Structure 1
């Protein structure tokens, strides 16, 4: 496959969907903060934030801290690198590691660019964490957790079918939910912030799954590798004709 064909396929299957996602996230942010901010259900978000802050306790503080830590930048980066490396060493191919890395990196890019446009203050309640210099919309922790842990769950679902594996899938999928609740509980985000982050993280997983994990999509190298493998297999299975001696 020519380089121009690969570039066109990347533009169609990756760049364009990500650009549309970014535009959708910015539009959603503008609707939440500029257009529908005085419309239900956004008018009750402040009440939800105050109710969560009023219900804080020692045990819930610890639980929320655990989930918040699972989605911290350091843990997300370290987990992504370790899991991607483990996948490559185990499977000896690039698709699965690239899928996971690309999903996490793409959600971070969309999150960052969205925060440059959308300027939303964090909830007007006591904050339990230091506020990073970004907008409250969307939640970076929730978005990253969705892309990483749902991405890992998808890879497991594609290979393992046992009851134990299915239990792990659900645990992994539940992590972003716990992160979202924890970030709201700790006064760092509004409900609409974390809901938008589910959209960002999940969409990035879908885009990269369709582009990287879908084996019907050829990126050139796979096709050449397949041809070479077929030729080697044919050569190995071909038996030479027996030699005949003259009479």
Structure 2
């Protein structure tokens, strides 16, 4: 087995398998083992309170946040962001990180929903979705991977300024807004969105540890650092070395 395969297995595949197992384990705890234990016994109450507070204005706001995390929007924003990163930075590391994080969370979400069948909250649903795909929240997970991923890149690349802090906070708050609006719209229980923060955040961490690690050597090609910390032309190891 080559060194590259070993590194990919250790740094990406194994952590994702463990994350999937954790998500399934959490799903089983929430839907079966602890279903009649506090605080899971009051989740429906939270959803009913949110549904009871619906107004036309908040309905419009919730639709905006929900749309920001829809499958179509996530794909479009991810592709556009990746293209901009590639054109501006002239390398593939950051675009690959973002695409890998979003893709990984989507796969974990998909396989988890295939194992965990949880009914959506017993309130009026404002969106059309499969009735037993409540755990976890795909919208929240995707928003976490995409917008937190962008926040990580911003924190790593940009100098610390008030504007940077503002943009960073805005990016991080988008998944929070998505989570709240998905509950408001009657599509998910609180535990669904909490688990989704874990899924999206873990995928960002896994891919950052792998793709954004500039000291990592892949096979015989090493990406050295310039004095500024930016990538430079890959240096190949001498033949026979």
Quote the residue 2:42 is aligned against: 44
Residue 216 in structure 1 maps to residue 224 in structure 2: no
Q: Secondary structure at the match of 2:209?
A: helix
Q: CA deviation at 1:133?
A: 6.5
Tell me the CA shift for residue 227 of structure 1: 2.5
Runs of 5+ unmatched residues, structure 2: 224-232
2:228 alignment counterpart: none
| Number of positions where the alignment pairs a residue of Structure 1 with one of Structure 2 | 228
Q: Where does 1:133-152 land on structure 2 (aligned, <5 Å)? A: 135-152=133-150
Q: Counterpart in 1 of 2:115?
A: 117
Counterpart for residue 85 of structure 2: 87
CA RMSD of aligned residues (A): 1.7
Q: Which of 27, 38, 42 does residue 29 from structure 1 map onto?
A: 27
**Matches of 1:223 and 1:214, distance apart in 2:** 11
2:68 and 2:132 map into 1 onto residues whose CA distance is 19
Look up the match of 1:96. 94
1:166 corresponds to which residue? 165
Match of 1:226 in 2: 234
- Encode CA deviations 1:101-156: one digit per residue, 9 max, x unaligned: 00000000000000000000000100011114661000000000000000000000
Please say if residues 216 and 222 of structure 2, whose CA atoms lie closer than 8 Å, have aligned partners that are also in contact.
no
Report which of the two structures shows the higher radius of gyration computed on alpha carbons. 1
Q: 1:185 matched to which residue of 2?
A: 184
**1:188-230 CA distance string (max 9 Å, x none):** 000000000000000000000000001121223742753269x
Aligned to 1:241: none
User: Kindly tell me: are residues 6 and 88 of structure 1, through their superposed partners in 2, closer, same or farther at Cα, counting changes over 3 Å?
Assistant: same
Cα distance in 1, alignment partners of residues 19 and 173 from structure 2: 23
Matching residue of 2:200: 201
Correspondent of 1:78 among 68, 76, 79 = 76
In 2, Cα distance between equivalents of 1:189 and 1:205: 22
Tell me the distance in 2 between the aligned counterparts of 1:187 and 1:112: 20
Structure richer in helix, relative to its length: 1
Match of 2:3 among 2, 5, 8: 5
Structure 2 Cα separation of the partners of residues 62 and 184 of structure 1: 14
TM-score (normalizing by structure 2): 0.91
